[in-house]
Amino acid sequence: MGKEYKLIKNIWSGKYPERGNKEPLSVLEKAFMTLLIVIRSFSLGRIIKVFFISCSYKTRSGISELYVLLWFVVSLCLLFLYPFRPIWGTWILLGLVAHRTIEGLAYPLSIIFVNKYDRKRGPRSINRSLLLLMFNYCEIIIGFAIFYLATRSIGYSNCDRVITKPIEALYFSVVTITTLGYGDMRPISWFGQGLALLEPLLGFVMVIIVIGVFLTGVKGIKEKRRGN
């Protein structure tokens, strides 16, 4: 945690960018970078790696990969096996799913907006990072499907029937994040409308990161390291 908050201190003290004729960071950039660092500091994956702080970087990296894979499996199990009912346990699980969705989105954004200023950080390889991004994208789809199913906020357009099957929620989530919009299902509550608006926005961010900004940003990090 100490290194993370030292990084925040360096951001607000004007240490970055370190050299060159680059413009200093704006207040908006500093605030956004700080938010990403705070999210990263309190992510479940980061907390788990604290217990392995004495291990090598390669070992901690492997733990991160295992953590992502386990969450992916857990999300699928929650979607297809958990009987969602209006109880406290359900809302706790939904909170964990939301936390993981935010955590997964903050990972690539941190690489682009934060890690390029910290030479000690950065992805091990582009291929590994892209694979993790694919899992994060799928986790967003599954996570929103869980919310659609648990809140019963999606129904069929031609009748009053609410979707109650996992495959129906997963289908609507895929259609929504890809903006296909067949029109056979629709939100039936304000909560469902909010979810249906938020999901494609997150999907666009992930796709833009994968196709353009992420690849360019990672290439810049590697060139900067070789130059040093």
* Sequence-ordered list of residues with C-beta below 8 angstroms from that of 60, at least 6 positions apart, any chain: 49, 52, 53
Q: Does the residue 143 lie in any domain?
A: yes
Instruction: Compute the distance between CA of residue 142 and CA of residue 137 in angstroms, rounded to an integer.
Output: 9
Q: With residue 107 as reference, give the H or E element that holds it.
A: helix 88-113
Task: Report the number of distinct structural domains present in the chain.
Answer: 2
Query: Residue 188: CB partners within 8 Å, gap ≥ 6?
Result: 153, 154, 155, 162
For residue 49, the model assigns a pLDDT of 62
User: Do 24 and 114 sit in the same domain of this protein?
Assistant: no
* Shared domain check, 165 and 102: yes
Q: Which pTM was predicted?
A: 0.84
Ordered per-residue pLDDT tens for the chain, 228 residues: 567 778 888 888 887 776 555 678 889 989 999 999 888 887 776 666 666 656 666 676 777 888 889 999 999 999 998 877 766 678 888 888 998 889 888 888 887 788 777 655 555 677 777 888 888 899 999 999 999 999 899 999 888 789 989 999 999 999 999 988 888 899 999 999 999 999 999 999 888 777 666 666 555 555 554 555
**What domain range includes position 217?**
61-227
Same domain flag for 150 and 67: yes
Query: What token pair was written down for 59?
Result: 């070992």
User: Would you give the DSSP letter of residue 162?
Assistant: B
Question: What is residue 123's predicted lDDT score, i.e. its pLDDT?
Answer: 59
Q: Determine the pLDDT at residue 48.
A: 66
Verify that 144 and 189 share a domain, yes or no: yes
Q: Are residues 168 and 219 in the same domain?
A: yes
Is there a single domain that holds both residue 37 and residue 150? no
Q: Are residues 157 and 65 in the same domain?
A: yes
Check whether residue 14 and residue 90 sit in a common domain. no
CATH code assigned at 217: 1.10.287.70
Reported as type and span, the H/E element at residue 151 is helix 126-151
Residue pair 133/206 in contact (Cβ under 8 Å)? The answer is yes
* Token output for 171: 């289908």
Q: Are residue 32 and residue 115 in the same domain, yes or no?
A: no
Q: Is residue 163 part of a domain?
A: yes
How confident is the model at residue 15, as a pLDDT? 79
Same domain, 125 and 215: yes
Report the DSSP beta bridge partners of residue 162: 155
- Same structural domain, 30 and 66: no
Closest of 152, 189, 153, 149 to residue 170, by C-alpha: 149
Comparing CA positions, the residue from 140, 134, 157, 135 lying closest to residue 195 is 140
Task: Say if 154 falls within a structural domain.
Answer: yes
